Amino acid sequence: MQIQYPTIPSPAFVLEENLLIKNLELLKRVQTEAGIEIICALKGFSFYHEFPLLRKYLAGATASSLHEARLIVEEMNEKAHVYCPAFLPSEFTEMCQYASHITFNSLNQYNKYISQAISSNISCGIRINPEYSEIETDMYNPCVAGSRLGVRKSDFKDGLPSHIEGLHSHTMCENDSYVLERTLQVIDEKFGDFLPQLKWLNLGGGHLITSEDYDVDHLISILNEFKSKYSNLTIILEPGSAVGWQTGFLKSTVLDIVHSAGIDVAILDISFAAHMPDTLEMPYKPRIRNASIEPQKGEYVYRFGGMTCLAGDYYGDYSFKEPLNIGDEIIFEDMIHYTMVKTTTFNGVNLPSIGKINTVGKYINYKSFGFESFKDRL
Ligand SMILES: Cc1ncc(COP(=O)(O)O)c(C=O)c1O
């Protein structure tokens, strides 16, 4: 099999800058035509080497921890929107230095921190739980019974707390604009009495705006309609996936091929568990370049195993037109969002290098990892 990227180390997460720009241009169009702000959620996309580029297109970024907030300030030169399920008392003062907006997850958190936040000139909000989500997997559904995320309308016993300028709602995951339309309807029904008193409404992430079949014009029209009702509100979307959606790959290499009970298993220099944990957690079967994701008759079928000792660290089966050999390059598609932010060094496996292919097709290696990165975490 032909090696497509001989100069790229293996394994490596490789961002393709032209594809990122394509996403950013679309997001910018939504910002302009809908008159809203789009900020990047670092939990899904923390490729900070591209933050100066992101800032040219987007209104900023959102953090869910002190470290993410600091990264935004240091690498995007912008204060962060911040939301955490709970703030650490030892960190809150530093957090206030990095934040332009802070969203509290509960009324307890609001009571504890509101004075300090407003004296730091931060615009404060509360996360709501509108008790409406179309997410089918409980793991990703913030509206499941007993959810710790956000305040339900019935819990605002005394109305909107003082000094609150915004509401934040995150109830979507890889959803389309029609889900947002129905969600907005519920927010309006339940929280419509609060909205005229506010400055902003953050509609969270989960908007897969950059996927091929997303109805961008419909999104723009529902946002414009909502804004015409509540012209006092700045509407904010904070996608992570949509920023990094299909903007690069994970390059890997076949280290061995073992034959096990009639199955050919190619062992790679990556790990599903350590480098692509969502494939096992979500779970979903990742796409591999030049391979059929459902094995085709007459083709060469392989299962792919990771290099950890975890028995379940594998995915399959895939088929190829040609047989695989040791040393072949295997490219996992769409491996930029929710990958390097979630990697581990489980089993002591090394982390993939991180680099990009720039707009003129040149590979730039940002970093490669070694023993110190492993030891540092222990
Ligand atoms: C509060 C919040 N905002 C934004 C996001 C980003 O979501 P996505 O990457 O699906 O767009 C998440 C993801 O979990 C989130 O919890």
Written as one string, the DSSP assignment of 222-253 is HHHHHHHH-TTPEEEE--SHHHHTT-EEEEEE
- Find out whether the beta carbon of 43 lies less than 6 Å from any atom of ligand 1: yes
pLDDT band, residue 2 (cuts 50/70/90): confident
Q: What is the pLDDT of residues 201-247, one digit of tens each?
A: 999 999 999 999 999 999 999 999 999 999 999 999 999 999 999 99
Does 137 fall in a domain? yes
Q: How many CB atoms lie within 10 A of CB 106?
A: 17
Average pLDDT, the chain: 97
Same domain, 43 and 174: yes
- Find out whether the beta carbon of 205 lies less than 6 Å from any atom of ligand 1: yes
Does 239 fall in a domain? yes
pLDDT of residue 211: 98
Q: What is the pLDDT of residues 294-303, one digit of tens each?
A: 999 999 999 9
Among 202, 229, 244, give the residue marking a domain's end.
244
Whether the pLDDT of residue 69 is over 90: the answer is yes
Tell me which H or E stretch contains 216.
helix 216-229
Q: What is the pLDDT of residues 75-131, one digit of tens each?
A: 999 999 999 999 999 999 999 999 999 999 999 999 999 999 999 999 999 999 999
The answer to whether the annotation marks 138 as part of a ligand binding site is no
Q: Which of 2, 4, 68 is nearest to 249 (CA)?
A: 4
Q: How many CB atoms lie within 10 A of CB 276?
A: 25
Whether the pLDDT of residue 11 is over 80: the answer is yes
pLDDT of residue 1: 73
Same domain, 179 and 302: no
Q: Whole domain around residue 253: which residue ranges?
A: 248-335+343-376
pLDDT of residue 18: 98
Cα R_g (the chain), whole angstroms: 22
Same domain, 262 and 223: no
Most informative mutation of 43, 133, 183, 211 for ligand 1 (most atoms within 8 A of CB): 43
Task: Name the residue with higher pLDDT: 166 or 2.
Answer: 166
What is the rounded CA–CA span in Å between residue 262 and residue 246? 34
Same domain, 146 and 159: yes
Whether the pLDDT of residue 44 is over 80: the answer is yes
Q: What is the pLDDT of residues 333-373, one digit of tens each?
A: 999 999 999 999 999 999 999 999 999 999 999 999 999 99
What is the rounded CA–CA span in Å between residue 251 and residue 333? 9
207: CATH: 3.20.20.10
* Residue 54 main-chain phi, psi, to 5 deg: -55, -40
Query: How far lies 299's CA from each of 219, 260, 291, 332, 333, in Å?
Result: 42, 18, 10, 19, 20
> What's the gap in Å between 64 CA and the centre of ligand 1?
10
Calculate mean pLDDT across residues 324-332.
97
Same domain, 226 and 318: no
Does 355 fall in a domain? yes
Tokens linked to 276 = 């692509």
Same domain, 240 and 252: no
256: CATH: 2.40.37.10
pLDDT band, residue 193 (cuts 50/70/90): very high
Atom of ligand 1 nearest to the CA of 172: 10
Whether the pLDDT of residue 196 is over 90: the answer is yes
Same domain, 186 and 306: no
Among 244, 260, 288, give the residue marking a domain's end.
244
Same domain, 165 and 67: yes
Tokens linked to 4 = 């497509």
Give me the number of domains the chain comprises: 2
Does 71 fall in a domain? yes
Calculate mean pLDDT across residues 249-277.
97
Same domain, 234 and 212: yes
Please enumerate in sequence order all residues whose Cβ is within 8 A of that of 239, keeping only pairs 6 or more positions apart, or say none: 27, 38, 40, 41, 44, 205, 206, 207, 208, 209
Does 22 fall in a domain? no
**DSSP helix/strand/coil, 2:** coil
Tokens linked to 151 = 């305040």
pLDDT of residue 247: 98
Among 244, 278, 307, give the residue marking a domain's end.
244
